[in-house]
Structure 1
Amino acid sequence: MTDPAALASPPRRIVLVAGPSGSGKGVMTQRSGLPLVPLDEFYRDGDDTSLPHRFGIVDWDDPASWNVGAALEALTALAHAGAAEIPEYSISLSRRTGTRSITLEPFDAAPLIVAEGIFAAELIAPLREAGLLADALVVDRPAPLVFGLRLARDLSQSRKPPLTLVRRGWGLARDQRGDVARWCDAGMQQVGLREGVIRLKGLADTARAEARHRAGTGSTDSSAAAPLDHEAGRPEQTAKVPAVLTIAAVCFLREGPTGLELFAVRKRDTESFMQAGGKLEPGESAREAAVREVIEELDVVLEEDDLELLGEFEAPAANEDSTIVRASVFVAPSDSLPRDVAVQAELEDCRWFPLEEDHTDVRLAPLMTDHIVPRLRELLS
């Protein structure tokens, strides 16, 4: 009999990860600690006469060599039931050799599933339509590095004859820039290996926070109608669902007399210090919003590519009641903020806070105290 508690649990959501073969997609997922479904397991058998060909062999980089329906079915089962059977595929033999069972840990330990492979972008539309898509990332690293890593891996595993691997590797290296652009056009966010690990951990933190919020309100659907008070004929009073603000914030660090210091600002007619940043405008990415807000608030121009993602966090808003901020937090280059920086727009004050000290004499935003400072201390230690 199905556990009623399991039926009330929200489905896990899925992060799709693509990237050139050998770029480190699997390594990134392993470092995040999240459960992984390798999409390579869903290749079609090599004796399938409908398979496409390139370089004198089957073109295993063509989506037609891959079973998108089987992959979608397995991911959907994992998201809703926490268990599924997936194939075991031998790259060297070019065929399925068996199956294996995947059973996920409880939601709090595994709130997301990562599906990784060069065909991950094929799943963006169906997972989004099913409400199961959490994010879609593409790992991008220098083509010569990827070529070397891929060739070393394929030779060690005897995947194909050495000459074929070299010819295929050069072809993939030439195609890499176009492949990454195509994945980005499909809706994937370009990340480096380290940035991707941080993003995956941040997404998992957000998923846990959302689940705790649903549990606290006693509902898995915030849009459900309020139950009736049968004696009065009126809707019962229910817990107010917090509003959610999606924001971008930027951390500036400098070397101070006692160690690293973190820059924070305070808005006019408020008490809390926080990082520069603000709400995303419609159609704007988090990086674009971060650059725009820093120009507006500090008259400092940053380059999007110079911002390093610290994490994706969720915390109570400092200045708005019954509101949660969902923040993409970036770290700016150390030399990007002038010593004589002055605040403008809606800001009234700014200060540098020693990172290793606790500041009980001033009010700091929950996002800063609960997430940003602890994560920076963790990385610097």
Structure 2
Amino acid sequence: MSRRAGVPSLNLDDFYRDGDDPSLPRRFGITDWDHPASWDAGAALAALTALAHDGVAEIPTYSIAQSRRTGSTRLEAGDAPLLIAEGIFAAELIAPLAAAGLLAEAIVLDRPVPVVFGLRLVRDLREHRKSVPILLQRGTALARQQRADMEGWVGSGLLPLGLRAAVRRMRELTAHAEAERYSRVVSATPQRLRIAAVCFLREAAPGAGHRTELLCVRKHGTGSWMQVGGKLDGEESAREAAVREVDEEIGVRLRSADLEELGVFEAVAANEPGTVVHAEVFVSRRPLPEPLAVRAELAEHRWIPLEQEARQGAGRLAPLMVEHILPALRLQEARQRAADGEDAEGRTG
């Protein structure tokens, strides 16, 4: 379903508890891996919350064959508006996700018992999950209780759908989420915030395939990437605010002369509903320290190619970036390249 709908997924099986945990439930003389107590619901919920707000989370790597965690991996949701969390314990997360406003839909795939039995057995054999006798014993037991499990899942709030219907539903949800993201409705009397933002530019490393990179930062508890900067404090000017914010957020002391005016723009705020930001934006090519350490309310930073489009893996870019900053910077770069070309022709001639 994830592959056909084009929606990234998180495998909830990676949140199983280690097999040597003495509190694990047992069945058939072995650990009952189909019981919710064999699974860490709290860790799964924490990871999904981080993915929703921060766009990234550290996910355990679990070996079914070894019945233990073997490491961890960093999962990035990127600019995907939805994420599928799949596994037999998904129903355990419906209530907490809904309470947090993070649940888009709860779906259980309704497929014939023989199909589910066959697909499960093929998967388990391919991945060498357990011995063949145990796989057959477990698979037969699960096939017998599939109808009862389905009734329980539906009773928990999951919507039963066939594979094709589920894929259609996921595509509908994705389209709706995309429309909300890129066509946000602002109230008739939106709050307006005056902010200053600084675009740090640097030349890309040789062989990178592009010319210029732009520094982007992300605040704690949010998923949008934007520029260093923030609200004006009291009667300070935008330039004064820019110098102060840069010092507070990345520990770099700029001079006023380090800032070149890019423009004044308005856009829907990335993280504050019903709000429009009135932004005075500056450009700086001053070299930044490496490694760069973000601080204050910032969670992380990254450099993206100036030519990169909003949906090419940069993560979720703030509306101010997409609608104004990137177009203005690209136009500025194009004019500079044209001027450099004219200078070169004049010197040659």
Range of TM-score over shorter length: 0.5 to 0.7
Q: Which deviations, in whole Å up to 9, do the C-alpha atoms of 1:107-164 show, x marking residues without a partner?
A: xxx1101100000010001011101110000001111111111112212222111111
Distance in 2 between residues matched to 1:227 and 1:91, nearest whole Å: 52
Give the drift of 1:226.
Answer: 4.8
> Could you tell me which residue of structure 1 aligns to residue 279 of structure 2?
none
- SS of structure 2 residue aligned to 1:73: helix
For residues 48-67 of structure 1, the aligned pairs below 5 Å read 48-67=21-40
Q: Which deviations, in whole Å up to 9, do the C-alpha atoms of 1:2-24 show, x marking residues without a partner?
A: xxxxxxxxxxxxxxxxxxxxxxx
> Could you tell me which residue of structure 2 aligns to residue 132 of structure 1?
102
TM-score by length of 2: 0.53
Distance in 2 between residues matched to 1:79 and 1:144, nearest whole Å: 36
Picking from 159, 165, 184, the partner of 1:195 is 165
Instruction: Note closer, same or farther for the CA distance 1:155–1:226 as it changes in structure 2 (3 Å cut).
Output: closer
For residues 207-246 of structure 1, the aligned pairs below 5 Å read 207-214=177-184, 217=185, 219=186, 226-227=190-191
> Could you tell me which residue of structure 1 aligns to residue 220 of structure 2?
none
Q: Which deviations, in whole Å up to 9, do the C-alpha atoms of 1:170-223 show, x marking residues without a partner?
A: 100011001111111111100111111111111000111112231xx4x4xx5x
Counterpart of 1:206, as a letter, is H
Distance in 1 between residues matched to 2:101 and 2:6, nearest whole Å: 23
Distance in 2 between residues matched to 1:118 and 1:35, nearest whole Å: 18
Counterpart of 1:173, as a letter, is A
Give the drift of 1:105.
Answer: 2.1
Picking from 118, 127, 138, the partner of 1:157 is 127
The answer to whether 1:69 aligns with 2:46 is no
- SS of structure 1 residue aligned to 2:157: coil
Distance in 2 between residues matched to 1:226 and 1:39, nearest whole Å: 40
Distance in 2 between residues matched to 1:135 and 1:42, nearest whole Å: 21
The answer to whether 1:113 aligns with 2:83 is yes
Distance in 2 between residues matched to 1:30 and 1:199, nearest whole Å: 14
> Could you tell me which residue of structure 2 aligns to residue 95 of structure 1?
68
Q: Which of these two proteins has the greater Rg computed from alpha carbons?
A: 2
Distance in 1 between residues matched to 2:170 and 2:22, nearest whole Å: 39
Distance in 2 between residues matched to 1:227 and 1:177, nearest whole Å: 52
Instruction: Note closer, same or farther for the CA distance 1:81–1:56 as it changes in structure 2 (3 Å cut).
Output: same
Q: Which deviations, in whole Å up to 9, do the C-alpha atoms of 1:261-288 show, x marking residues without a partner?
A: xxxxxxxxxxxxxxxxxxxxxxxxxxxx
- Matched pairs, number: 194
Counterpart of 1:189, as a letter, is L
Q: Which deviations, in whole Å up to 9, do the C-alpha atoms of 1:11-57 show, x marking residues without a partner?
A: xxxxxxxxxxxxxxxxx112111111110000000000000011221
Distance in 2 between residues matched to 1:166 and 1:148, nearest whole Å: 10
Q: Which consecutive unaligned segments of at least 5 residues does structure 2 have? A: 193-272, 274-349
The answer to whether 1:39 aligns with 2:12 is yes
Counterpart of 1:141, as a letter, is R
Distance in 1 between residues matched to 2:66 and 2:126, nearest whole Å: 15
> Could you tell me which residue of structure 2 aligns to residue 145 of structure 1?
115
Distance in 2 between residues matched to 1:152 and 1:134, nearest whole Å: 31
Q: Which consecutive unaligned segments of at least 5 residues does structure 1 have? A: 1-27, 229-240, 242-381
Distance in 1 between residues matched to 2:83 and 2:119, nearest whole Å: 25
Counterpart of 1:115, as a letter, is A
Distance in 1 between residues matched to 2:71 and 2:8, nearest whole Å: 20
For residues 228-267 of structure 1, the aligned pairs below 5 Å read none
Residues 10 and 83 in structure 2, CA contact (< 8 A), matched pair in contact too? yes
For residues 216-365 of structure 1, the aligned pairs below 5 Å read 217=185, 219=186, 226-227=190-191
Give the drift of 1:65.
Answer: 0.3
Q: Which deviations, in whole Å up to 9, do the C-alpha atoms of 1:311-366 show, x marking residues without a partner?
A: xxxxxxxxxxxxxxxxxxxxxxxxxxxxxxxxxxxxxxxxxxxxxxxxxxxxxxxx
- SS of structure 2 residue aligned to 1:96: strand
Worse-matched range after superposition: 28-37 or 115-124: 28-37
Distance in 2 between residues matched to 1:176 and 1:170, nearest whole Å: 10
Distance in 2 between residues matched to 1:225 and 1:130, nearest whole Å: 27
Counterpart of 2:67, as a letter, is S
Give the drift of 1:92.
Answer: 0.4
- SS of structure 2 residue aligned to 1:47: coil
Give the drift of 1:103.
Answer: 1.5
Counterpart of 1:88, as a letter, is T
Distance in 1 between residues matched to 2:60 and 2:177, nearest whole Å: 28
Tell me the C-alpha RMSD between the 2 structures.
Answer: 2.0
Counterpart of 1:204, as a letter, is T
Distance in 1 between residues matched to 2:103 and 2:37, nearest whole Å: 23
Distance in 1 between residues matched to 2:121 and 2:71, nearest whole Å: 26
Give the drift of 1:104.
Answer: 2.2
